[in-house]
Amino acid sequence: MLRTHKIALCPNKSQEQLLRQHVGYARFAYNWALARHIEQRQQGVWENGYVLRPAFNAVKPEIAPWSASLSQYAAKNAILDLHKALQRWGAYRRAVKANNKPRRVGHPKFRAKHGRCQSYQADNGPGTVTVDRKLVVLPKIGAVKMREVLRFDGTIRKVVVKFDGRRWFACVVVESEPAPHIEPEVEACGIDVGITTLASVAYSNGERETIANPKPLAGALSDLRRIDKAIARSKNVHGINKTSNRRLRLYAKRRRLHARIRDIRADHRHKTTTAITKRCGQLSVETLNVAGMMRNKRVARSLADASMSGWLTTLEHKADFHGRRFNKADRWLPSSKTCSECGEVKAALSMSERQYRCDECGHTDDRDFNAAQNLLAEVQPKRGGNISPDSNSSPAVPTKRKLQTA
């Protein structure tokens, strides 16, 4: 089983400069190879990574003499990344031509110098990067201090070094044994996700838990707006095409802020999903239609801030890791509209109705927990309350229904 441990690095000044140079070198090689591939394709030749790499090595001393002191793995891995991206795009184009209606794959893009995430792959296969306690030994850079020790045992398969705008990280991919079995405390749970409360969990032993939404973006909006305004002013003063050091500093500031927002979200996501998967033997969740929900402009931002699907994806990974059963309910299951007591399905339920009230049996419950209870019943059916996908809700209105669960 492959697991990735992302560990923050504490490079010193000269190491940091070297890291930047390696990221730059990877970008340079990637962009050169992509430009060459496009040029050759226009003449009817498809050059893959195994052609592009020797071609790059041949001209390297001429076009990038500065790269001689850097690790060549950075360039090699970058061109191999491009190779894979071109392969995927080529397969997509063939599928389109064969009318297979494939999932869209974009053409590889040139890497930007000031992009969101700057990275390079440092290894040259297993064993070429070693980790010793809180040190990672990177080719041509040496031992760089890490903030914590590598938590997973096993062979190191890959090491990617990245800068997220705020800090440097080593993402260490380890081939490790499956996790030791932890006896679950509770048999099963149903989980309803939403925006106001990120998750409402109904356990099979009757316990209930709400997981709050940290909403890190909402808290940083005023700071972001201030920076964006300053950037806009700078563009007015200097012109868009003229670089200004002040504007570059502002971009860096904005990247740092976004990195912090992502960190808060990731920290919360990892802590909460680990707690649930360790505690519970079976997890039942709904299937979200986030793309459909994002079309609603009024909720798009808070929806993205909640990152519900990211939370569910992590939950699924962790459930798999701990050997838990993970049930994704049918996409059309009316988990919010169904009474968790008698199974009656409401024709309509508006978003503002926070309390579920059944017209049939008079059962009342918090709407999120009512939905969670229905999801729990998917894996642990209880007397009579068997629900089935709603035949009334046609595939044309999923957006509406999912918004109501929010």
Residue 292 vs 385, nearer CB to Zn ion: 385
Nearest-angstrom CA–CA distance, 143 and 292 = 47
Helix axes 216-238, 297-306, angle to 10 degrees: 110
Least distance in angstroms from the C-beta of 296 to Zn ion: 29
- CA contacts within 13 A on the Cβ side of 46: 6
Residue 353 vs 360, nearer CB to Zn ion: 360
Least distance in angstroms from the C-beta of 355 to Zn ion: 13
Least distance in angstroms from the C-beta of 339 to Zn ion: 3
Contact residues for Zn ion, defined by CB under 5 A: 339, 341-342, 344, 358, 360-361, 363
Nearest-angstrom CA–CA distance, 33 and 53 = 8
Residue 149 vs 361, nearer CB to Zn ion: 361
Closest CA to 323 of 191, 181, 153, 154: 181
Least distance in angstroms from the C-beta of 286 to Zn ion: 20
Partners of residue 193 on adjacent β-strands: 199
Tokens 């045992």 correspond to 153
Least distance in angstroms from the C-beta of 268 to Zn ion: 34
- Pairing mode, if any, of strands 142-146 and 155-163? unpaired
State CA 322 to chain mean position distance: 20
DSSP state of 205: T
Least distance in angstroms from the C-beta of 176 to Zn ion: 47
Closest CA to 26 of 72, 69, 59, 65: 72
Q: Is residue 322 within 8 Å of 182, Cβ to Cβ?
A: yes
Least distance in angstroms from the C-beta of 360 to Zn ion: 5
Least distance in angstroms from the C-beta of 358 to Zn ion: 3
Amino acid at 60: K
Closest CA to 107 of 26, 33, 24, 38: 38
Residue 156 vs 387, nearer CB to Zn ion: 387
Q: By three-state DSSP, how is residue 363 classified? A: coil
Residue 148 vs 359, nearer CB to Zn ion: 359
Residue 317 vs 357, nearer CB to Zn ion: 357
Q: Is residue 79 within 8 Å of 30, Cβ to Cβ?
A: yes
Question: How far is residue 394 from each of residues 347, 349, 387, 389, measured CA to CA in Å?
Answer: 12, 16, 17, 11
Neighbours of 206 (CB within 10 A): 7
Residue 338 vs 405, nearer CB to Zn ion: 338
Residue 59 vs 348, nearer CB to Zn ion: 348
